[in-house]
Structures are given as C-alpha cells and as structure tokens.
Amino acid sequence: MMRKSKKRWLIILIFISLLSASSFNQRYKQVKADDAETTVVTPYKKPSGDASSFLGLRTRSGYILQPAEQTYIELGQTKSIYADARRSLAAQLVWGIPYPNRSYQWYKSTDGKNWSKVSSKESGTKNTLPLTPSEVGTTYYQLNTYWTDWIGFTRNKQLYSNVATVNTVPEPVDAEDVKVTTDDDYLYNSVNDIVNTETYAHATPIPANFTGTVTWSVDDTNLATIDSETGLITANTNRLGGDLTVTATMHNPIGDDIQGSTKITIGGGLEDQTVHAGNTATFDLRGNVGDLDDDDEDDSDGNSEYTVKWYKEDPITHSRTQIQKDNPQALSYTTPETTLDDDGTIFLAIVQVKYNGKTYSYTTADAYLHVLPEGGPDLSLTNTLSNETYKDNNNTDTVLFGVNNGDSIKYTDTVKNESTSGTLKDAKYTLPLRKGTQVTSVKVDGKDTTDYETVANDDTNSDDLVISGLNFKINESHSIEVNTTVSGIDSKTSYTSVPYITGKNDDNNTYQKFGNDETLNYTTNSVVVSKVRDIDYGTINSVGTGKTLARQDELNLPNNMMELEDMRRNKEPLTVTVSQDAPLQTKTGDVFAGNLRFYKDGDYTDLLEKPAVVATTKKDEELLSLGWDKDNGILLYLQSKLNVAGTYKTTLSWTISDSV
C-alpha cells in the first residue's frame, strides 16, 4: 500500500534538426638477500616519479605511494606489495570523462633485465600484489598504472612505479623495533578540490630484513579511517577535528608482536591559539602546502597562482575585517600584542588557487584566539549540548547532526572563576540561539529560574538568551542548563554560536570570556531532491533506424540524472518510478516516431505505456542519487519512420513513494 508520495517534474528536450536525405637505461644497484652481490637492474619502463600537490590539489601525475624498495619474505609465506598512483587535476579535467577507469599491470624480472607480465590469476592486474614465493632468491617488480576508456579498449596517462626488490629468504626474521611515519601530519576534514584528506602511513622495521607482516589501526574512527593493509588514512568529512593516533602492529613470525605509533591532526586548516595578555599569537595554514609549480605536467597550461586572504571576526557580531592585505600569499598571520578584549576573536583564511584556467577556493574552519589574564578574574566556560530526542552516531559534545523540528536540545555550561586573586560582578551569560528556537526551561545551579530574557540580535540573526545578575568570587562556579525545542526548519542548514559571559572586574573594567563554538546541523527528515537534469539527445536524422539512441555523455555515469539526499531518520522501503505524460511532440503538434524507454540489463519499459520502477530500497537502506551508464536508464527508441523537422519535447513524472 502506498502511503505517501513526492512527485518531481522533468522536461525532456529532444532537439532534432532533421537532415534531407622509448627506450630508457636508468640503472639501479640492488643487493641480493643471500650473497650481497651487486645486481644492475634496468626497469621495465622509466619510472614516472612521485605525484606533486599544492595542499590537496594534485599538480603533477605520479605515485602517492611507491612500492617498498626492499621487501623480505620467508620462503612459502605470503606478503603483499602495493602502490598507488593518481592523475593531476588537470589530467582529470581533460581526460576524466573519456578515460574514467584506473587499471593496473605488474611486471616482474628475476635477472633485472628481462621482464614479463604478472598474470591476472596471480593478481597482476591489481595495485595490491600478494606474493608467496616457492624458492629462495630475488625478484624485481614494477607497476604500470593507466586509465582506460569506458570499454577498456584505449589507454591514457600510463604511470610506472619505482622498481621494488623482493627478497625470498629461507628463515624468518622478527622485528625488534619499528618507526612509524606519515607522509602528512595534518589532514583536512571537509571535501574540497584543493585540500588534502588522505595520506599514507609507513612502518620502518628494525632490522630491515623483517619477514613478518604489518597491520594498521587508528584510535578514533570518527576522525579518520585507515586501510589495515596499505596504511591509507582517510579523514572524515564531517568537520570533526582532533589528534589521531596511528598504530602499526608488526606481526613477528617467531616472537610476540610489537607496535609503534605516531600522531597526526585532523582539522579545518587553522587551529585555536592560547596566549597570555601582552603576547602575540600566530595562526598557520596547516598541512603539507607543497608547490604549485606544474610546468612539467603535460595536461596543464602552466599558468597557476594562489592567494590567501586572512580575516578576523568579532565573536559577537560576526563582522569580518580583512587583515594582512599587503602580503596576499602569506601562509601565516601573527597578531599584534594581545589584550583581554581580543579573547574570543575568530580568525580564518580563504585560499584561492587559479589552476589550468579555473579558480578553486577553500575557506578554513574558524580558529579562536584565547587570551589569558595576567591578573583579575579568570573564567572558564565548559559548554556542551545534546539532543534529548535523537542520538546521531556522529554527535560530539559541541556538534549535533540530524537535528529536526520538534527535537529537544539541551545546552549545559559550567562557568568557573579559576583566579586566586580577582572576582567578577554584575555578569551576564549570553547564549545565542537560532531564530525560531523555543526556550522551554532555564536552570541556574540546578534550580529553575525565570530571571532571563530573550533578545533579538539583528547583527547575528539570532535570539540571544541572556541571564543577568551572576557574580563570581574566587574559585566560585555556576552551572547553567537551557532546554529548547527546535522549530522553523524547512531545509538542510546549520547554525553555529558561541556562549559568552561579560561583567565587571575588581577595577570596574569590562571583562569578557567566550566558550567553545556549538554547531547544530539541521535536516528535514525527508528525501530532498536537489537536481533533476534535462535530457538532450542532440541532432538526429529525420528517418528513424529502428535502433536505440543513447543519452549524451555528460548525462551518463559518473554523473547522476537525479541528485538527492536521504535525510530520513527511520528509513522505510521506498520505490522510485518514472513515467511519460505525453508523446514527444513539437509546439505545432507533430508527434515524434519514437518512444522513451527505461532500460535495465537488456529489459525495458515503455514510459508512455506504464511507469517504470527505477530504484527501490529496503528497510534501513538509504536512497542514493540516480544515474546510469550509457546502455541503461532512459533511452530513445527510434522507429523506422519519417519525422517532421522540429524540436520535440515531453515531460517525465518522477515519483518517490513509501511502499510496503
């Protein structure tokens, strides 16, 4: 039984203009595992080198992970080698659509001169190559990474790795120690073309001829995940930040396993700074910035440049002021000597990169300046918020996800005077709330109070809840609890605010202190369709051929026909159907001799005859955006008849409905 439905409309435009009737000799010196004899190795092909980046923008095609230079395997045991190559952004823009598929081929040599393919049965066409040697000796390997067209017929951008030497030895060797490193010590926590969200971890065993295997882990999978075999770390894109511990476990073939670890940071590009009044603070653009020079990249126009605009923002009014205008490529900013009035000031940077004729931009996360007093009151705010109605697995103490109308949101804060010499009087606690938020109760030190007011703040587009009459003696604290109900949410959006307190110190001067920013990510608890694309079959001949006409390339995967986001909390089964309202016809009423059909794996449904089911979901399954390859989806069948010249149009109805 169908309980609810949501209908979208799409104009299908059929535009029909009818026609009347090398060789390379670089040498490697390698040492055999058994006799320390020197072998001169000639690679199968010249290595392509490492990829280069500016922040996360890939400026040069190459390998972001080369295969290990030396690998030791005990006879009869299994160990893998692997590599990872990427195209530059310029190459992706030029060749991404005609050559979308990344492919691999390993080559091997036992003498360092004569090379042969590793068969697909031996995983020679994957970037991870498991090896189980059957005899003692040395074998050399090189990986070719290349991109092919849709059917895998032609190749583009072939990249060759460095040569990997694999030594097979008769006896096992344990690791006594391990050094863990990463290519980058900072990863960004949002999706953007010019920031880096992934890096590789490396384990260097001592001794180097360790024959066991390595597995990887991290201490917080909400911040980032790691491939347990290859060590590829991928940061979250939910803007969660913090320090991440990366651990390598060396599985010794004889003795106990050993571990080593290192730390990296996940963030939004800038980090908070804390200084005492009178000192300066420096904000650095984090991450491996790299080099924007791309002159040796074949697919780039070589005209690349970048600018960094720095801003400071008032934490209450959120008014921004550009700073450091005289240095448009500065990767850091140092404040003047700070005062207590600077406490809570927000700093951010906007990075703009001109690359291959296009401009890309990234805005860092806000970074806060915390200024500690040299005397007088010293307040700390420990603020959190929670959704009392719904628990999302991504929630933190200060960030909530999936917040809907009707949810009960509780704000809690403990404000304490840490000073041993100063007090604060006549203090006001301010909690900015999104306009439309309903306040249901307020407690101070565990007791209900009505001694508060809600003030409209046009500067911040918020309703400020203000609690007055607070005093803080030495080491005195107050707890605050505000309960609210969400209302007025009609689209996916977010709201960030910072609670703060102001008052008078012992010298009757104004003192202020800010807490941590709190973010609510609102959703609509529904399926939201953001885009449905028109279909254009281009110009065709006036006489049909009895064949099926595919969509234009940009309407096929990897591009989607319908972009949607499933924001439902309780995901009941859904059915998506599409139907054709009327025949394809011109404004003058000429009907096209053809049919729109929905194809799936060779079968089709005539959309003019009945709706076609294009997608279904099961309970607790997310509905994803819809797209098809060129042989599936909505295609145009041409009848063997003559058509009148003109532009033919029709309308498709898309229906998303609950189903049993």
Residue 198 has pLDDT above 70, yes or no: yes
Task: Kindly state whether residue 142 falls inside one of the protein's structural domains.
Answer: yes
- Identify the three-state secondary structure at position 585: strand
Distance of alpha carbon 660 from alpha carbon 1, whole angstroms: 6
What would the mean pLDDT of 634-645 be, rounded to a whole number? 88
What would the mean pLDDT of 386-397 be, rounded to a whole number? 95
- Judging by beta carbons within 10 Å of its beta carbon (0-12, 13-18, 19+), is residue 36 exposed, middle or buried? exposed
User: Do 227 and 312 have their domain in common?
Assistant: no
User: Do 469 and 488 have their domain in common?
Assistant: yes
Q: Which of 370, 388, 409 is the last residue of a domain?
A: 370
Residue 12 has pLDDT above 80, yes or no: no
Q: Does an H or E element contain 92, and which? A: helix 89-95
Provide the pLDDT for residue 340.
83
Q: Which of 169, 198, 216 is the last residue of a domain?
A: 169
The closest of 408, 354, 93, 366 to 239, measured between CA atoms, is 366
CATH code assigned at 415: 2.60.40.740
Residue 28 has pLDDT above 80, yes or no: no
Backbone phi and psi for residue 90, each to the nearest 5 degrees, phi listed first: -60, -45
What residues are paired with 255 via a beta bridge?
A: none
In the block, which residue shows the tokens 């139907």? 579
Ordered DSSP codes for 211-268:
-SEEEEEES-TTTEEE-TTT-EEEE-SS---EEEEEEEEEE-SSS--EEEEEEEEEES
CATH code assigned at 155: 2.60.40.10
Provide the pLDDT for residue 290.
78
User: Do 504 and 612 have their domain in common?
Assistant: no
Task: Kindly state whether residue 582 falls inside one of the protein's structural domains.
Answer: yes
Task: Kindly state whether residue 535 falls inside one of the protein's structural domains.
Answer: no
Q: Which of 493, 522, 551 is the last residue of a domain?
A: 522
Beta carbons within 8 Å of 120's beta carbon, 6+ residues apart: none
Q: What is the 3-state secondary structure (H, E, C) of 253-306?
A: CCCCCEEEEEEEEEECCCCCEEEECCCCCEEECCCCCECCCCCCCCCCCCCCEE
Provide the pLDDT for residue 541.
67
Distance of alpha carbon 522 from alpha carbon 492, whole angstroms: 6
User: Do 261 and 319 have their domain in common?
Assistant: no
CATH code assigned at 564: 2.60.40
The closest of 191, 224, 202, 194 to 289, measured between CA atoms, is 194
Backbone phi and psi for residue 95, each to the nearest 5 degrees, phi listed first: -115, 0
CATH code assigned at 237: 2.60.40.60
Ordered DSSP codes for 94-134:
HHTTTS-EEEEEEEEESSSS--EEPPGGGTTTSSEEEE--S
Angle (nearest 5°) at CA 591 between 588 and 594 = 150
Task: Kindly state whether residue 531 falls inside one of the protein's structural domains.
Answer: no
User: Do 161 and 191 have their domain in common?
Assistant: no
Q: 398-455: per-residue pLDDT in tens?
A: 999 999 999 999 999 999 999 888 899 999 999 999 999 999 999 999 999 999 999 9
In the block, which residue shows the tokens 């819809």? 626
What would the mean pLDDT of 236-246 be, rounded to a whole number? 95
User: Do 33 and 60 have their domain in common?
Assistant: yes
Q: 452-482: per-residue pLDDT in tens?
A: 999 999 888 899 999 999 999 999 999 999 9
Q: 524-576: per-residue pLDDT in tens?
A: 999 989 899 999 887 776 655 678 888 888 899 999 999 999 999 889 999 99
User: Do 105 and 199 have their domain in common?
Assistant: no
Residue 113 has pLDDT above 50, yes or no: yes
Domain count, the chain: 5
Provide the pLDDT for residue 467.
98
User: Do 357 and 479 have their domain in common?
Assistant: no
Task: Kindly state whether residue 640 falls inside one of the protein's structural domains.
Answer: yes
Task: Kindly state whether residue 162 falls inside one of the protein's structural domains.
Answer: yes
Angle (nearest 5°) at CA 622 between 618 and 624 = 115
Chain centre to alpha carbon of residue 118: 34
User: Buried b / exposed e across 392-406, counting CB within 10 Å, b at 16+?
Assistant: eeebbeebbbbbbee
Write out the residue range of the structural domain in which residue 640 sits.
5-16+540-658
Q: How many residues does the structure list for the chain? A: 660
Q: Between the CA of residue 633 and those of 5, 15, 208, what are the distances in Å?
A: 22, 19, 54
Residue 22 has pLDDT above 80, yes or no: no
Residue type, 210: F
What would the mean pLDDT of 384-391 be, rounded to a whole number? 97
Task: Kindly state whether residue 402 falls inside one of the protein's structural domains.
Answer: yes
Provide the pLDDT for residue 660.
66
Task: Kindly state whether residue 52 falls inside one of the protein's structural domains.
Answer: yes
Provide the pLDDT for residue 621.
93
- Judging by beta carbons within 10 Å of its beta carbon (0-12, 13-18, 19+), is residue 384 exposed, middle or buried? middle
User: Do 277 and 263 have their domain in common?
Assistant: no
User: Do 561 and 507 have their domain in common?
Assistant: no
Distance of alpha carbon 480 from alpha carbon 463, whole angstroms: 17
User: Do 216 and 337 have their domain in common?
Assistant: no
User: Do 105 and 165 have their domain in common?
Assistant: yes
